[in-house]
Structure formats: structure tokens, C-alpha cells
Amino acid sequence: MSTEIVGPSVKVRRPSWFARQDWFFAVALALFVGVGVWFSRAIVDFFAPAQKTVSTPSLVGQTLNDAFATAGRAHLKASVLRRTPSDQYPKDVVMRQSPPGGAQVREGRAISLIVSTGVQIFSMPDLRYESLREVRLDLSHFKLQLGRTKVVPSDDVPANRVVAQDPPPLSSVRSGSVVNLELSKGGPQTIRVPNLEHESVGRARSEAKAAHIHIGQIVWTPFGRY
């Protein structure tokens, strides 16, 4: 006869509904804090004064060092955008600026400057016998401008090449000067002259006309034809 021993029953307790919802409250609290911080920052930005603006000083005509100092006193920065030759402004003098003088900008804004390198004088290059394409390359290299071109006859210079130039070669010029050219249209066309010996005057005239030749003075002699 077997005996069955039954132990005491154990009751498992499940978490309550409130315990299961704890993480919902944590998320909601974090979201509430985030919205509150954002809203507070927006209120501060709305009532806080806007960033201070200043009027840009006029730096054109000032030396580069003076322009830097003037911009610094106005709580602005100045930087050189590029340098270029000028007949009007001496070397290291501000020619243009951006933004212009009098513009309203925020403090710390950078002003871009174009500064003069002064007048550059050099010897005019010799362009004779060059083609127009070669001339354009040379002028671009020396920062010169092509002016008027004129086609002239020439027995010595091939067609479409420079016969003469103004200013002439080796003369003193400055950057930006205008150069005028005379281009060759080539020498006269060569033609074959027909043999008019022993021909009558009438036939000689006909053959000369057909060959586009003009007969000059005719000299009569008493010897007649051979």
C-alpha cells in the first residue's frame, strides 16, 4: 500500500496594474521635462535683445593697414579678396569693399576688400608676324586689350598675320592698355603670263585679257615680224 504525500500549495502573486505602468510614467515625465526646457528657451530668446548690428565703415581709399584698424574699431573683420592693378589707386590701397560702407551688419561680420597693386609698366611685346590667335594669348598674358584691327596689303607678311602694331614693340605700356593691329591680307596673287611674242596686237590683247593682264604701252618698230 503506497502513501502519497501532498505538499502545501504555493500561490504565485502577479504584479499589480500600477506596477506594470511604471515605465509609461517615466517616459511621460521625460517628455514633459523636455517640452518645459524648450518652452523656457523659446521665452528667453523672445524677450532677449537681438544681436547688435553696426554700420560698416567706408574703407575705400585707405591703406590696407588703416582699413584693418578701422574695421577692428567697428568690431568687424577685414580680409583681402584679391589684388589687381589700378591707374587710380596706389599700391596697397583699398579699391572696393563688400558690403559697402554704411551697410548694417552684425558685429564680427567680415568685409571683403579688393586692393590695388599699383600701376604696372613694362615693355610692349613684339606681335609682328603673329597670328590673331597668338596675339590674343600674348595680350591676355600681359593683361592688355585688343583694340581695332585693320587689314592691309603686304608682300612680305603672310595673310592674317600682324604687319604693324600700336603701341610699337618695346615701347612702355601699362596693364590694361589697348593695342591696335594691322593684319596682312597677303601679297598679290601670282598668275602665269602668256607668251605674246610673234603675236599680232589684237591677239595679244585677247590673250592678255583672258589671263587678267593689263597691256601697257605698245612701242612700234620698223622691223615688223621676224
**Of all helices (H) and strands (E), which one includes residue 183?**
strand 178-184
What is the spatial distance between Cα 213 and Cα 122, in angstroms, rounded to a whole number?
50
Cα 194 to Cα 199, 206, 214, 215, 219: the distances in Å are 11, 11, 12, 12, 19
Q: Which residues pair with 180 in a beta bridge?
A: 166
> Which of 33-42, 47-56, 71-80, 182-191 has the least mean pLDDT?
33-42
Q: Cell digits for 218?
A: 605698245
**138 has a pLDDT exceeding 80:** yes
Q: Cell digits for 184?
A: 596682312
Whether the CB-CB separation of 159 and 176 falls below 8 Å is answered with no
- Mean pLDDT along residues 168-189: 88
> Which of 22-26, 45-49, 60-64, 147-151 has the least mean pLDDT?
45-49
Q: Which of 19-33, 36-50, 178-192, 208-222 has the highest mean pLDDT?
A: 178-192
Q: 211-224 in b/e burial notation, b at 16+ Cβ within 10 A?
A: eebeeeeeeeeeee
- Mean pLDDT along residues 209-217: 70
Q: CB-based contacts of 124: which residues, under 8 Å, 6+ apart?
A: 165, 167, 168, 169, 170, 171, 172, 173, 179
**137 has a pLDDT exceeding 80:** yes
For position 5, what pLDDT does the model report? 45
Q: Cell digits for 107?
A: 558685429
pTM: 0.44
Name the CA dihedral angle for 152, 156, 159, 163, rounded to a multiple of 10 degrees: -50
What is the spatial distance between Cα 162 and Cα 147, in angstroms, rounded to a whole number?
13
Q: Which of 6-10, 116-120, 177-181, 206-210 has the highest mean pLDDT?
A: 177-181
For position 178, what pLDDT does the model report? 95
* Of residues 49 and 168, more confidently modeled: 168
**116 has a pLDDT exceeding 60:** yes
* Sign of the alpha-carbon dihedral angle for 58, 60, 61, 65: positive
- Identity of the residue numbered 89: Y
> Which of 19-28, 46-55, 57-66, 204-213 has the least mean pLDDT?
19-28
Residue 163 in 3-state DSSP? Answer: strand
Whether the CB-CB separation of 195 and 214 falls below 8 Å is answered with no
Q: End-to-end CA distance of the chain, in Å?
A: 174
**223 has a pLDDT exceeding 90:** no
Separation of CA 161 from chain center: 29
Taking only the tens place, the pLDDT of each residue in 153-164 is 988 899 999 999
* Of residues 226 and 29, more confidently modeled: 29
